[in-house]
Amino acid sequence: MKKNKQLTLGHPLQDGGKVLSGPKGKTVAPFSEIPDSVGGYLLIKVKTLAEATEIAKGCPIFNNGGNVELRAIQQMPGM
């Protein structure tokens, strides 16, 4: 994939993180593995999980009962 330039971005996720849910993401809980829970992702650059949490609270998915998982990516050599 990388050789044919099909792979544009991808990294494993680190353990830990948070899950935001409820109106405007006001319910914050520790992340726990939920099978098939990721339907898409956005990559944001922040220095802390707290900063990412504040940004994620503005996600429109909460208007439809959705959740936001906040996870750090694991940097991989050569990618």
- How would residue 36 be classed by pLDDT, with cut points 50, 70 and 90? low
Specify the 3-state DSSP secondary structure of 18.
Answer: strand
**Ranges of each domain in the chain:** 1-79
Alpha-carbon gap, residue 51 to 37, rounded angstroms: 23
% pLDDT > 70, the chain: 70
Summary mean pLDDT of the chain: 76
Alpha-carbon gap, residue 43 to 72, rounded angstroms: 9
Instruction: Compute the CA torsion angle 6, 9, 15, 18 (nearest 10 deg).
Output: -120
Alpha-carbon gap, residue 54 to 61, rounded angstroms: 15
For residue range 7-30, what is the model confidence (pLDDT) as tens digits?
Answer: 456 566 777 788 888 888 888 888
